[in-house]
C-alpha cells in the first residue's frame, strides 16, 4: 500500500507523544491496580518516546530564570496518569519531596541527578544510597512502595536539561509533601503546572487529507 509522505512528515511532529499517550491509556486500563505490571509496560513506551528528540513542543522546553518548570503534556481523563515535561535551568533543583503515586523519569536532553532520602524520627533527612545521574535515554522509577522521597537537580551548571515524567495520577493536583532537610518535618505540597497550555495531540487532519489526496485517481 502507498503511504503518503505527509502522514509521517513534519506536520505531525506530535505523533510520538500521541502514540505514547494512546499506548499508556491501554496499559493503565489493562493493568488496573497492578502497579508492577503497569510500570513495566509504561517504561517500555517511555523508552521508545525519549529515544528520539524533536517531538516536544517549543513551549514545553522553556526554562524559567529562577525555578524549574513543569509543563503538562497530557492528563488522562480519568486521572490515571499524566505526562509532564520538566525543564531545569542551569543549577536549578527541587526541594526534597514525595509523589504519593508511581512515577517514571525519562531523560530527554542534558543530564540530571536524583538523590533519594529517608526521614528520621527526629533530626535531619538521611540520604538513601548514592546520587543517580541520568543521561538522555535513562529512566528512573519512584514509587510509594519502594520509597519515593527524593531531590532532583540539573546536573549541568551551564545549560538547561529536560526530562519527561509519567505519573500514576494527575501529578499537579496530587496532595503530597515537601520535607525540611534539617528536621525531616513534612509540609503539604500541591505542585500545579507551569502553563495553562497543553499540546494539541488530536489535529490529525494533515495525514487524513494526505491520505485522501493519495487515493484520488
Ligand atoms: Fe520527583
Q: Separation of 105 CA from ligand 1 center, angstroms?
A: 8
Instruction: Identify the burial level of 21 via C-beta atoms within 10 angstroms of its C-beta, where 0-12 means exposed, 13-18 middle and 19 or more buried.
Output: buried
Cell of 30: 489493562
Residue 39 CA to ligand 1 centre (angstroms)? 16
**What's the 149 CA to ligand 1 centre distance in angstroms?**
7
pLDDT of 34: 93
> From the CA of 133, how far away is ligand 1's center (Å)?
14
Give the per-residue SS3 of the chain.
CCCCHHHHCHHHCCHHHHHHHHHHHHHHHHHCCCHHHHHHHHHHHHHHHHCCCCCCCHHHHCCCCCCCEEEEEEECCCCCCEEEEEEECCCCECCCECCCCCEEEEEEECCEEEEEEECCCCCCCEECCCCEEECCCCEEEEECCCECCEEEEECCCCCCEEEEEEECCCHHHCCEEEECCCCCCEEEECCCCCCCCCCCCCCCHHHHHHHHHHHCC
Whole-number pLDDT of residue 2: 42
CA of 153 to the centre of ligand 1 (A): 10
Q: Domains of the chain, with CATH numbers? A: 56-193 (2.60.120.10)
> What is the reported pLDDT for 122?
86
Please state, in angstroms and rounded to a whole number, the distance separating the CA atoms of residues 208 and 192. 35
* 18 alpha carbon – ligand 1 mean position (Å): 24
Per-residue pLDDT tens over the stretch 92-148: 999 999 999 999 999 999 999 999 999 999 899 999 999 999 999 999 999 999 889
Distance (Å, whole) CA 37 – CA 59 = 33
pLDDT of residue 177: 97
Q: How far apart are CA 149 and CA 186, in angstroms?
A: 11
- Note the pLDDT of residue 48: 98
Q: What is the pLDDT of residue 12?
A: 86
Mind listing the pLDDT tens digit of every residue in the chain (217 residues)? 343 343 444 578 999 999 999 999 999 999 988 999 999 999 999 999 999 999 999 999 999 999 999 999 999 999 999 999 999 999 999 999 999 999 999 999 999 999 999 999 989 999 999 999 999 999 999 999 988 999 999 999 999 999 999 999 999 999 999 999 999 999 999 999 999 999 999 999 988 998 999 887 7
| Angle CA 184–84–135, to nearest 5 | 80
pTM: 0.92
Amino acid at each position: 500500500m502507498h503511504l503518503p509522505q505527509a502522514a509521517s512528515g513534519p506536520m505531525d511532529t506530535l505523533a510520538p507523544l500521541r502514540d505514547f499517550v494512546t499506548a499508556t491509556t491501554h496499559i493503565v486500563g489493562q493493568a488496573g491496580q497492578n502497579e508492577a505490571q503497569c510500570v513495566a509496560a509504561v517504561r517500555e513506551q517511555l523508552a521508545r518516546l525519549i529515544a528520539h528528540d524533536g517531538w516536544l513542543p517549543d513551549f514545553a522546553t522553556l526554562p524559567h530564570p529562577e525555578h524549574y518548570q513543569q509543563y503538562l503534556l497530557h492528563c488522562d481523563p480519568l486521572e490515571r496518569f499524566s505526562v509532564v515535561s520538566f525543564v531545569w535551568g542551569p543549577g536549578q533543583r527541587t526541594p526534597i519531596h514525595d509523589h504519593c503515586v508511581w512515577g517514571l523519569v525519562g531523560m530527554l536532553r542534558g543530564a540530571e541527578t536524583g538523590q533519594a532520602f529517608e526521614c528520621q524520627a527526629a533530626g535531619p533527612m538521611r540520604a538513601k544510597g548514592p546520587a543517580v545521574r541520568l543521561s538522555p535515554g535513562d529512566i528512573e522509577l519512584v514509587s510509594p512502595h519502594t520509597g519515593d522521597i527524593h531531590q532532583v537537580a540539573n546536573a549541568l551548571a551551564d545549560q538547561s536539561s529536560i526530562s519527561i515524567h509519567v505519573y500514576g495520577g494527575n501529578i499537579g493536583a496530587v496532595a503530597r509533601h515537601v520535607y525540611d532537610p534539617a528536621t525531616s518535618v513534612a509540609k503539604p505540597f500541591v505542585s500545579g503546572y507551569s502553563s495553562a497550555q497543553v499540546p494539541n495531540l488530536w489535529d490529525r487532519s494533515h495525514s487524513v487529507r494526505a491520505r485522501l489526496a493519495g487515493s484520488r485517481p
